[in-house]
RNA sequence: GGGGGCGUGGUGUAGCGGUUAGCAUGUCGGCCUGUCAAGCCGGAGGUCGCGGGUUCAAAUCCCGUCGCUCCCGCCA
């Protein structure tokens, strides 16, 4: 080894020891005759002190080097030290010395000591890095630069810590399932494409001209087949691939904790994961879990109160509905929306009645990307009259002239507004109103500092609809995936009232992020066949795409179910990262490119020929 | 597929129709034996992403394009 100790472990009790350290120069402080190097390795930082005069400071017994005298070796070390620059890789021989009284650095774990160098060797020189490695200045650097030099970005303390945290989390998860008799099984990366779900990444076959493998969107079918194989408890930290457009919390390849169990019900899977998350939180985070057992909310309740199936329950500001109140309103916006089958819901901006027009316009703009045409708003600037209605001077609103006194009183009552609050209303179809208000609620929460960054608010969302109607394709599609079982009592209405069928599915949500989801699966081939037919697949399509599953179900399939959790999202939440790129070693850009490797890239014509692939002219030249 | 934001020395930024393109940091040189974001002195470093247009004059206004990013659609 080129080191006897790490740069993070020496303490006052090591004083007098002869040591060799190796690492990167975090920073150099050159005082002329005295040079300080902060030497950094993965484990910490140690101050190395190099003097050009051995007469001073150096304890006699300290110098470990053999024949060479203190004076000359220190001069050598000093000469080298004056050439050294940031991020040089060096090796130091020296002795550990307790720092003089008053010169300790409490910021460093090793701050009680310093290593007095007797020899210094440059193992590797370094160009000046494109951004500062030490400290946190690198956080501000343009992400394109950081991604191009990812190996330097990962050297920065923040990313290095994120990777360490990720390692700890994955290690904890693995141990948790090892201890509970789960079998870790690797499933193939080269699988078969299916039209359900996300777009597949596809891999051409050389041996079979014109045929393609698909990378797994998740190991869903494989893990169910493992249940049929009788493994009972399977898990895997699995890489998944989805060829869809990216977001801060979505990358084309990502990692899931994937697990499946036989002879279980939804409550068993939920209890298992809940215990894991509680223990994981306690182990790796200082933040308290807001509520245990985790609250369980139905999908309908989540949509009603939060407008979204992944509610952030760290704060209140629940949505309220006034559809019935304004059904016959004089205000056309409300009346027409309801008449067209829409809903009218709202959210409160606490103490927002005095917001400027500009600020309110800002809220309206905020809501537009979600399809809302606008926001109706009522500021409660005064008190109600004796009869419970609100006189005009108690309100600030462009729409009160269209609303009846009872309507206003009803809206105020439904919103639970107090004096000084601002009521914000959206009238539109459900698919617009809910997302618009859900996101507006988050925006208000952020603006009013209601969202604590020091809480872990887990919750379960259950009783999802099994199916959803796809207008474009004029058919019903699976919300989760086609293997999810309906609730027992709902199988009877699968064909007649598909919209009312609820699934045996559950999502786990943390601080408004969906971190995982799963379901109890169908394990009978007749039910699975019914499901495929409900999804509009013909018998031949089913046979072609899922015949293997149906066949497998005929050889003794145990009841089973499971869950998958997004590792990056979990780590990002624990790391307080805004994007999962911050917790991945080598992430891709928002357009799916790798700026370090410059992928995707063109390949040789011979390679294409081998794969029986011809690239269309115009698309090739467009690149 | 659509919309928004950003792009100025290595990095972070100011400037937003006429400036020798400012500042900080880094970097290079000098001084310096107790610093730990060391300090002091001095220097170098910029096709203002790229292309086109408007104008007497463009970093600045307009159009296009590329890159990064956020969001909608898409995606569990």
pLDDT digits 0-9 by tens, A352-378: 999 988 889 889 988 988 999 999 999
Do residues A370 and A437 lie in contact, with contact meaning Cβ atoms separated by under 8 Å?
no
User: Does the annotation flag A243 for ligand binding?
Assistant: yes
Question: What are the Cα distances from residue A102, in Å, to A15, A62, A157?
Answer: 17, 21, 27
Q: How many residues in total does chain A contain?
A: 623
Predicted interface score ipTM higher than 0.85: yes
Q: Tell how far CA A422 is from the center of its chain.
A: 32
- Is residue A59 very low, low, confident or very high in pLDDT (cuts 50, 70, 90)? very low
Asked if the domains A12-124 and A160-286+504-593 are classified in one and the same CATH topology, the answer is no
CATH superfamily of this structure's domain A315-448: GAD-like domain (3.30.1360.30)
List bases, strand B, within 7 Å of protein CB: 1-2, 10-13, 25-28, 31-39, 67-76
Q: How far apart are CA A316 and CA A300, in angstroms?
A: 17
Question: In the structure encoding, which two tokens stand for residue A90, read together?
Answer: 């060096």
pTM for the structure as a whole: 0.93
The structure tokens 């943390």 sit at: A510
Q: Tell how far CA A290 is from the center of its chain.
A: 19
Percentage of the residues of chain A whose pLDDT score is greater than 70: 96
Q: How far apart are CA A535 and CA A349, in angstroms?
A: 42
Q: Quick check: helix, strand or coil at residue A86? A: coil
Do residues A33 and A52 lie in contact, with contact meaning Cβ atoms separated by under 8 Å?
yes
pLDDT in tens, A311-324: 999 999 999 999 99
CATH class of A12-124: mainly beta
| β-pair partners for A202 | A214
A507: the nucleotide nearest its CA (via C1') is: B76
User: Does the annotation flag A489 for ligand binding?
Assistant: no
What are the backbone dihedrals phi and psi of residue A597, each rounded to the nearest 5 degrees, phi first?
-90, -15
**For chain A, domain boundaries:** 12-124, 160-286+504-593, 315-448
Provide CATH code, domain A160-286+504-593. 3.30.930.10
CB A526 within 7 Å, strand B = no
> Which residues 451-470 on A are within 7 A of strand B at the CB atom?
464
Question: What are the Cα distances from residue A303, in Å, to A247, A306, A606?
Answer: 23, 5, 54
Q: Quick check: helix, strand or coil at residue A18? A: strand
> Which residues 267-326 on A are within 7 A of strand B at the CB atom?
309
- Is residue A56 very low, low, confident or very high in pLDDT (cuts 50, 70, 90)? very low
**Helices A567-574, A157-178: crossing angle, 10 deg rounding:** 120
Question: In the structure encoding, which two tokens stand for residue A480, read together?
Answer: 């989760």
CB A242 within 7 Å, strand B = yes
Nearest to A456 by CA among A281, A200, A309: A281
pLDDT in tens, A99-114: 999 999 999 999 999 9
Q: How far, in Å, is the CA of A235 from the C1' of nucleotide B47?
A: 56
Nearest to A558 by CA among A229, A258, A184: A229
* Averaged pLDDT, A158-178: 97
A581: the nucleotide nearest its CA (via C1') is: B69
CB A148 within 7 Å, strand B = no
> Which residues 6-25 on A are within 7 A of strand B at the CB atom?
none
């Amino acid at each position: 080894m080129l080191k006897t100790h790490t740069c993070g472990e020496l303490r006052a009790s090591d004083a007098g020891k002869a040591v060799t350290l190796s690492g990167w120069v975090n920073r150099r402080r050159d005082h002329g005759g005295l040079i300080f190097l902060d030497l950094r390795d993965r484990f910490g930082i140690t101050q190395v002190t190099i003097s050009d005069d051995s007469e001073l400071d150096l304890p006699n017994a300290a110098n470990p080097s053999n024949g060479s005298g203190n004076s000359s070796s220190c001069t050598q070390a000093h000469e080298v030290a004056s050439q050294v620059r940031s991020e040089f890789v060096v090796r130091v021989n020296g002795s550990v010395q307790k720092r003089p009284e008053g010169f300790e650095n409490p910021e460093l774990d090793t701050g009680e000591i310093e290593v007095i160098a007797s020899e210094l060797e440059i193992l590797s020189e370094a160009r000046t890095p494109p951004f500062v490695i030490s400290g946190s200045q690198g956080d501000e650097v343009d992400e394109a630069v950081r991604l191009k030099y990812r190996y330097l970005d990962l050297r920065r303390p923040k990313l290095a810590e994120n990777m360490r945290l990720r390692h700890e989390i994955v290690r904890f998860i693995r141990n948790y399932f090892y201890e509970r008799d789960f079998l870790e099984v690797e499933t193939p990366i080269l699988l078969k494409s299916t039209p359900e779900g996300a777009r597949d990444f596809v891999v051409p076959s050389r041996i079979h001209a014109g045929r393609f493998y698909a990378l797994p969107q998740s190991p869903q079918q494989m893990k169910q087949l493992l249940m049929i194989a009788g493994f009972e408890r399977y898990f895997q930290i699995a890489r998944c691939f989805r060829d869809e457009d990216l977001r801060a919390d979505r990358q084309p390849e990502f990692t899931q904790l994937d697990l499946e169990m036989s002879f279980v019900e939804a409550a068993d899977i939920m209890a298992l994961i809940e215990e894991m998350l509680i223990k994981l939180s306690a182990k790796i985070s200082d933040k308290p879990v807001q509520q245990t057992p985790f609250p369980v909310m139905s999908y309908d309740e989540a949509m009603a109160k939060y407008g979204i199936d992944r509610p952030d329950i760290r704060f209140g500001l629940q949505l309220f509905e006034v559809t019935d109140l304004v059904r016959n309103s004089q205000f056309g916006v409300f009346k027409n929306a309801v008449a067209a089958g829409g809903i009218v819901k709202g959210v409160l901006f606490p103490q927002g009645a005095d917001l400027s027009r500009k600020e309110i316009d800002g809220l309206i703009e905020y809501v537009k990307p979600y399809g809302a045409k606008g926001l109706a708003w009522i500021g409660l600037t005064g008190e109600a009259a004796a009869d419970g209605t609100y006189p005009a001077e108690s309100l600030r609103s462009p729409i009160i002239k269209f609303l009846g006194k009872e309507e206003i009183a009803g809206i105020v009552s439904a919103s639970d507004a107090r004096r000084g609050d601002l009521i914000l209303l959206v009238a539109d179809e459900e698919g617009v109103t809910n997302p618009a208000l859900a996101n507006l609620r988050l925006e208000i929460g952020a603006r009013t500092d209601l969202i604590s960054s020091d809480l872990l608010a887990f919750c379960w969302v259950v009783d999802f609809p099994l199916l959803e109607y796809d207008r474009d394709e004029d058919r019903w599609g699976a919300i989760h995936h086609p293997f999810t079982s309906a609730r027992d009592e709902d199988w009877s209405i699968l064909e007649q009232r598909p919209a009312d069928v609820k699934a045996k599915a559950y999502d786990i949500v943390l601080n408004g992020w969906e971190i995982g989801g799963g379901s109890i699966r169908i394990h009978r081939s007749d039910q699975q066949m019914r499901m495929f037919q409900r999804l509009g697949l013909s018998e031949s399509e089913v046979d072609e795409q899922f015949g293997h599953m149906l066949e497998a179900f005929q050889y003794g399939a145990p009841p089973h179910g499971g869950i998958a959790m997004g590792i990056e999202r979990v780590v990002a939440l624990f790391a307080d990262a805004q994007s999962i790129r911050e917790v991945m070693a080598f992430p891709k850009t928002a357009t799916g490119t790798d700026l370090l490797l410059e992928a995707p890239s063109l390949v040789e014509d011979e390679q294409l020929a081998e794969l029986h692939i011809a690239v269309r002219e115009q698309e090739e030249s467009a690149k």
